[in-house]
Amino acid sequence: MSVLAALDIGLALLVFAVAAWTVFAPGAFAATVGYVVYGLLLSLVWIRLFAVDVALTEAAIGGGVTGVLLIGAAARLRQAEMTTVGEAPSGVTRLFAACLCVLVAAALAGVVLLLPDQGPTLAPQAMERLPETGLGNPVTAVLIAYRSFDTVLEKVVLVLAVVGVWSLAADRYWGGAPGEARAERPEPTLAFFAQMLAPIGIVVGVHIFWVGADEPGGAFQGGAILAAMWIILMMARLTEAPQTNAFWLRLALIAGPAVFLAAGVAGVAVAGGFFAYPSGLAKPIILFIEAFMVLSIAVTLPMLVAGPPRREPRR
């Protein structure tokens, strides 16, 4: 057995073990920490699957930002855990659930094993039409050109998520800011770490977005890194979350989907159909759209992590 195969099997077992820890660990906080580790291990799996764009996204959003969200929640819900001790389901329920889950997993595994080695694929068609878009990264082409309708509507989903999270505020806090106010004297370690990391992160994030046209990377990955930097600054209390009724915030949140929608509609006049790109101009338009997507993602993800407004609006 080659070294790589042994590593693969080791990685697979480790991923499963950490996932099992996440489900069976006694405390929610421990389970959540396990989940963050799990996210990072998963990115390694994605690299072994030769899907580097996905690995970047999983590391940044799946493990990173989701991890922050869940750890913050676990810390605040510590008290709630103690009241649920008596609510654990009966042994019968557990047995039934276990049987069902083993059945589902086995059926799925069986179908996975039956997949042919050379499955049906759209890779040739994707590569064939790649030169029209001017891009070098086929995954970016799929996201912004071939299946752009998926992406633009997924950006709208993000806006709806913000509306949904904000809607949970009490009426008197509506329009105010989420999270905590900026601290007079932020904690030194956290502040040092944030101040050192943020500039590097911003450069890396912009670079990953820019290079995503031709190499692995893109708007989601770059935007997520920028979002992470802002989250770090907010966690270190060097800056505070903006007021939710701020016009610039709302504009930034909708800029991505709005520009994408506008470009899609403009395609009717310029290229003969919704979400079509005129030949020759495709790459600049795509980068233009992606730039606004990066802005929106960099603003949306921290606002989703910050939660509903908790302070009264000024003014």
Tell which positions 35-74 bind another protein, by CB under 8 A: 35, 38-39, 42, 45-46, 48-51, 53-54, 57-58, 61-62, 65-66, 69-70, 73-74
- Is 124 a binder of another protein (CB under 8 A)? yes
- Is 200 a binder of another protein (CB under 8 A)? no
d(CA 205, CA 7) in angstroms, rounded, equals: 30
Q: Which of residues 153-182 bind another protein (CB under 8 A)?
A: 153-154, 156-161, 163-171, 174-175
Q: Which two tokens stand for residue 248?
A: 């610039």
Which of 97, 200 has the CB closer to another protein? 97
Quote the least distance from Cβ 190 to another protein, whole Å: 22
Cα-to-chain-centroid distance, residue 312: 29
Quote the least distance from Cβ 196 to another protein, whole Å: 26
Quote the least distance from Cβ 225 to another protein, whole Å: 14
H/E segment holding residue 17 = helix 3-24
**Cα angle 193-197-199, degrees, rounded to a multiple of 5:** 135
Q: Output phi, psi for 292, to 5 deg.
A: -70, -30
Which one of 103-111, 191-199, 203-211, 228-236 is the stretch in contact with another protein (CB under 8 A)?
A: 103-111
Which one of 140-148, 183-191, 203-211, 232-240 is the stretch in contact with another protein (CB under 8 A)?
A: 140-148
**Cα angle 194-195-197, degrees, rounded to a multiple of 5:** 65
- Is 75 a binder of another protein (CB under 8 A)? no
Nearest to 254 by CA among 300, 191, 289: 300
- Is 136 a binder of another protein (CB under 8 A)? no
Q: Which of residues 211-230 bind another protein (CB under 8 A)?
A: 218, 220
Sequence letter at residue 232 = I
2, 3, 92, 114: which one binds another protein (CB under 8 A): 114
Which of 32, 237 has the CB closer to another protein? 32
Spatial neighbors of 21 by CB under 8 A, at least 6 apart, are 30, 31, 34
d(CA 186, CA 251) in angstroms, rounded, equals: 30
